[in-house]
A and B are shown apart, each in its own frame.
Chain A
Amino acid sequence: MYGSKASQLVKEFASGEKGQLTTYNNDLIREVVAECTQHHLDFQSLIRKMQEEGLDIQTAKNADHYGALIHHLAVVRNKRCLMAYMYNRAEIIRNLLWKIGHMLPQEIKVKLCSTEEEHFKNHSKALKNYMLKVEVDLTVVTSPSSSPISFPSPSPASTHAPDMVPPKDPYIKVRVIDDIGEGILLSDDKSANFALHSMHLLKRTDAEQFIAQGKMEELKG
């Protein structure tokens, strides 16, 4: 059936959980594009046939006209599916910036194609530039040192919930649940040994990025 490959692509995207990326399906996209090319060729041959018969393409409504119409509609449909696939993925990728910061972890990187990675980099660059110019760090929501103006979530689609409650204590207890690596400098110029499963009392601002990346968890007393 026409357009079934394209809809398979869209369904594959939809089958993932909301806000989760599936691996970029290069093969299927190539197949859909090939299908479009085939439709284009069929379309042209039907139009040529009508021209050879001396018919006016604008007004003649014979069998060839409807055949060509079906091919045209199939191309338009395939285009919509491909566009929607890319558009919705791009939106998720831009949202990653707010959720996990400017560096993509490897497990997400492998799901992107090269242009999507490029898009992420450019978006990150643009955002950094913007923040530099207006002198507000929009990605850090609870920062005691930066400006007291707290911005609401910058993009309506962003699910990063800003912590709007003023903290009772600048320090929180965390447990390390993943390899972090050594030599990480905290904001008070001290470094700590973040061994796996060790517990620490950290500044909220220091801990926040690690929790967002899934490397630490907050301990509730």
Chain B
Amino acid sequence: MAKYYDIDDIIVEEETVSVIFQKAASGVGIDPSSSIFIETGSKVELPFWLAHELQLRQAVSVNVPPCFNQKTRQELHADSAGVDLRSRCPFFYEFGCKIAPIVGDRTIGFLLLSAFKSRYKEILTKAHSVAFAAGSKFWTILTKEEIYLYETAQSAMASFKKWRMGGPRFQIASVLGRKRKSKE
């Protein structure tokens, strides 16, 4: 419940997973094309929030999502920093942590840890050395969590520089930040 109001947490739980119904369910229109009766054993794509709750009640069994498949694992193993994780799942780590206990795949935890460890170093190095524009291609393959990390590292460096050099002390409120640009 701690993350009830957390926007990112809500978006993570919107990721779809494919499930197999262990029980029949009637009167639901999950997929507009299919009938309103879901038979036992039918394979359906559900958002994570629904799949998770149904799995707790043993109504469905959850398959391992494609972003943790063998191909991704091999790519991560070969060159973890160059893999485009964003297109696979924008919240790769958060989603991985949520899905791991449900699908009962113990290897996902190791996969997340090793992927993060090797990418972490790369992100911090680039955040401190590469300018934003030059790093933009690198930028597109990061997951949301990694982008936060990247931004935090950059703002920490910017704050440090500002502290050392001394910068403007009065500033326009950030909510109004766009105002001048639109007028020009």
Q: Which residues of A contact B (CB under 8 A)?
A: 1-4, 7, 10-11, 13-14, 19-21, 42, 45-46, 61-64, 66-71, 73-74, 77, 80-81, 83-84, 87-88, 92, 96, 99-100, 105, 107-108, 159-160, 163, 165, 172, 177, 207-208, 211-214, 217-218, 220
Contact = CB atoms under 8 A, between A and B. Distances in A.
Given A64-B26, A66-B24, A163-B169, A213 B176 contact: yes
B175 to A, nearest CB: 6
The main secondary structure of chain A at its interface with chain B is helix
A77 B173 contact: no
B175 A211 contact: no
Interface residues of B, number: 36
Given A81-B10, A83-B4, A99-B173, A66 B179 contact: no
B168 A218 contact: yes
Given A10-B11, A83-B5, A87-B5, 19 more contacts: A2-B30, A42-B27, A61-B23, A63-B23, A66-B54, A67-B27, A71-B28, A73-B53, A77-B50, A83-B4, A84-B4, A84-B10, A88-B5, A172-B170, A211-B171, A212-B171, A212-B172, A214-B180, A217-B172
Given A77-B49, A77-B50, A99-B175, A67 B26 contact: yes
A11 B11 contact: yes
B170 A19 contact: no
A107 B11 contact: no
A17 B176 CA distance: 12
Q: Which among B23, B26, B54, B177 has the greatest number of chain A C-beta atoms within 10 A?
A: B26
Contacts of A88: 5, 7
